[in-house]
Structure 1
Amino acid sequence: MHIVADENMPALECFERRGTVTRVNGRTLTRDALADAEVLLVRSVTRVDRALLEGTPVRFVGSATIGTDHVDRAALDALGIAFAHAPGCNARAVAEYVLQALLLACQRQGRTLHESRVGVVGLGNVGGRVAAWLNALGATVIGCDPPLARSGARAPVPLTGLDAVLDADLITLHVPLTLDGEDATRHLLDAERLALLGPEQTLISTCRGAVIDNRALARQLAAGQGPLTLLDVWENEPRPDPALLERVWLGSPHVAGYSVEGKWRGTAMLHDAWCRWAGEAAPGATPPVSGETLDAPVHDEADLLALLRRAYRLHEDDRRLREALAGDDPGAAFDALRKHYPPRHELLYWRHQGEVAAPFKPLASRLFAPE
């Protein structure tokens, strides 16, 4: 079996035992590379559609990502090609990123997270986890998720409309990118809705760049009227708007979910899906763990932030992004940051040691234990 895989996918040994794996640049992948491939494994930078696959021998496509907006599912169905993705594979990594971002913003704005109102837009694998962690911390959390509200399913936080959520002190976005229908999310935060946000608020986005109208946000921030903004995702990746990058407080190159464990889970989930499709038993696998200890007490929010920053420092991603995009080829630099991203481990990787004050124990138990 010939398997073509994005060169940035780790832990491909399970597929290498099944056949020959050819690693390719996912952003520049063409039909020619699939001339004799039966399996295609991608990440979010590859547009997977009829133009790429029709007439090739590919019969299984796997995307090691949460989102699927880069995949034409209808075309795959019409071509008789099986599809699998990895919902939730990096949810914990993104949630850790968002928790650090929220604490950093509170620190900068002179407030505590416990005493703030947080609005979570989208309560899927990531947003639901963020909401649950904030509940454990005792913060006031409200959510907006129209499909979830219509389904009648239980939500982790009270549900309300988008405009009410945009009145919160801190807002974090966790929706898929959808282009049409009653729940379309492209430019969900357009100029009109962005105008509702002021400098005393915080806006965080780790979902998809086009959920926010980037030009409108850049204009608002340039006028000094917008929220404190932290962006991991951008319109027109890998070439973010330089005017927007200049004005956001912290930015990163679409790596909120780029933990070693999240990437490992993504590949493992695709391998399990391939085994089911092929009618084979999926072997069990164990994620990477460490015997190392994070020795740090947690008595207050400053301690909690310090603990998170022992594992990962958002400011370092911001520094690298600004330095890279100041060069002659910003697009190549953006992709290079993702390709050569330094190893980042989730808190589950370590063992925590240190006194935890009673108000933080419910959250600490979630951070350091599988859920």
Structure 2
Amino acid sequence: MPTLLLLVPIAAEHKALLLERYHVIDAPDAASRAAAIAARAADIDFVLTNGSTGFTADEIDACPRLKLLAAQGAGYENLDLAAARARGLACCNGAGTNDDCVADHALALLLSSVRALPQQGAALRAGLWRDALPLRPNFGGRRLGIVGLGGIGRKIASRAAAFGMVIGYHNRRPRHDADGTTYFDSATALADWADDLVVATPGGAATRHIVDAGVLAALGPGGHLVNIARGSCVDTAALAEALAAGRIAGAALDVYEGEPQPPRELLGLDNVILTPHVAGWSPQAIRATVENFIANVDAWERGEPLRTPI
């Protein structure tokens, strides 16, 4: 059996799929990862990680038998692809395996923020009834700006359109298959047009702080921000300042700068909804990512093209 270094925690029922095929070295935290590479690097054939956890050039160099490097989800910003390709390693990700789950979560966050569901629940528990609470808008006719109209962004758009929202987007370049949407050539222009903004772009240096103080100012005091992309895409300090000052109405975030630590600047604000980077996690999505990884390894072993190459 080949040996798999597993750097992401997964449930036993999904790990069982891997144990049928590989010797699995479980290393879901920094200490066990370092220990595994120190003791077992010479045995490792495959690595399954994710975009935020990554795999470094030094770690690649330490694994002489390594043949394939995989990211569990779509993101791969912290995988050293240059080092992997210099070694001739096969590289793949889990593109498409959790798109529906992430899109569902994005809409849940947006609904919760726009309709102020946590605040209304807290008010009810404090003895307030609806007449004492501000009216919250419904979705019909609101303009939703999506930063990054890739696979996940398109699924968010289709769900939002079903609620009657009008869709705009910003990408590096316009899409020719984005009928019914409006393209904007900058995140600031998109935010100026939009009532609400969802960040669904890949992470990495090119999108670091793509949502900054200027974009938040353009979104305006009635706007809501949702981030299900990467924490680095949003300037946390600027967001905290905008929320505290009422320059935007609310934010709902599943990802943060400095994960897994929660964003301290935001914890005391009652117009923020926070979830612990679970947008892409469901039993169906995790099983699909594991099956996709296995399919990629099988394709590589047969000398066929990978299913989801990077």
Alignment TM class, shorter chain as reference: 0.7 to 0.9
Pairing partner for 1:185 from 188, 201, 207: 207
Structure 1 position 26, deviation (Å):
4.2
Give the superposed CA RMSD: 2.1
Q: Which amino acid aligns with 2:21?
A: R
Q: Which residue of 2 aligns with 1:4?
A: 5
**SS where residue 48 of structure 2 aligns?**
strand
- The SS at the match of 2:69 is strand
Equivalence for 2:122: none
Equivalent position of 1:60 in the other structure: 68
Secondary structure of 1:58's aligned partner: coil
Cα deviation, residue 280, structure 1: 7.5
Deviates most, 133-142 or 230-239: 133-142
Over residues 136-158 of structure 1, what are the superposed CA-to-partner deviations in whole Å (9 max), with x where a residue is unaligned?
Answer: 333211111123x1xx5311422
Distance 2:303 2:204 in 1: 34
Q: How many angstroms apart in 2 are the aligned matches of 1:37 and 1:69?
A: 22
Q: Deviations over 1:316-356 (max 9, x none)?
A: xxxxxxxxxxxxxxxxxxxxxxxxxxxxxxxxxxxxxxxxx
- Describe how 1:321-340 pairs up with structure 2 within 5 A: none
Deviation at 1:260, TM superposition (A): 1.1
Deviation (angstroms), 1:205: 0.4
Residues 138-195 of structure 1: per-residue CA shift (max 9 Å, x gap):
3211111123x1xx5311422123223203111111000131xxxx210101222222
Q: CA offsets per residue over residues 107-134 of structure 1, 9 Å max, x none? A: 2362111221111111111111011222
**1:26–1:42 contact (8 Å) kept in structure 2:** no
Q: Structure 1 residues 177, 135: CA separation in 2 closer, same or farther (over 3 Å shift)?
A: same
Tell whether the 8 Å contact from 1:178 to 1:185 is kept in structure 2 after alignment. yes
Q: What code does the residue aligned with 1:250 have?
A: I
Q: Name the CA shift for 1:27/1:43 in 2 (closer, same or farther; >3 Å).
A: farther
- Give me the whole-angstrom Cα distance separating, in 1, the residues matched to 2:153 and 2:215: 20
Structure 2 CA distance for aligned equivalents of residues 170 and 256 of structure 1: 19
Q: What corresponds to 2:126 in structure 1?
A: none
Letter in 2 for 1:84: C
Equivalent position amino acid for 1:22 in 2: I
Q: 2:277 aligns with which of 245, 254, 265?
A: 254
Q: Are the aligned partners of 1:26 and 1:46 in contact in 2 as well (CA < 8 Å)?
A: no
Q: Is the 8 A contact 1:102 1:113 kept in 2?
A: no
Q: Secondary structure at the match of 1:12?
A: helix
TM-fit CA distance, 1:272? 0.6
Amino acid at match of 1:154: D
2:238 corresponds in structure 1 to 216
The aligned counterpart of 1:235 is: 257
CA displacement 1:206-226 (0-9 Å, x = unmatched): 100010111121222233323
Q: Distance in 2 between matches of 1:7 and 1:47?
A: 10
Matched, 1:73 2:90: no
Q: Aligned residue for 1:164?
A: 189
CA distance in 2, matches of 1:123, 1:46: 24
Measure the CA separation in 1 of the matches of 2:139 and 2:266: 26
SS in 1 for 2:219: coil
Counterpart position of 2:202: 176
Q: What's the TM-score once normalised by structure 1's chain length?
A: 0.69
C-alpha separation between the residues in 2 aligned to 1:185 and 1:115? 29
Asked whether the equivalents of residues 84 and 273 of structure 1 are also in contact (C-alpha less than 8 Å), the reply is yes
Partner of 1:356: none
Helix, strand or coil at the partner of 2:62: coil
2:100 is matched with which residue?
92
1:137 aligns with 2:163: yes
> Which protein has greater RCO, CA pairs closer than 8 Å, 6+ apart?
2
User: Take 1:273 and 1:116, find their aligned partners in 2: how far apart are those partners?
Assistant: 41
Q: Which runs of 5+ in 2 are unaligned?
A: 117-134, 305-310
Superposition TM-score, scaled by structure 2 size: 0.82
Amino acid in the other structure paired with 1:257: G
* 1:1-56 residue CA offsets vs partner (Å, 9 max, x unmatched): 11111351342333322231121124442232433111111123423121111031
Match of 2:131 in 1: none
Residue aligned with 1:195, SS? helix
Of all paired residues, the percent bearing the same amino acid is 27
Q: Structure 1 residue aligned with 2:293, among 264, 267, 270?
A: 270
Please list every run of 5 or more consecutive structure 1 residues that lacks an aligned counterpart in the other structure. 282-371
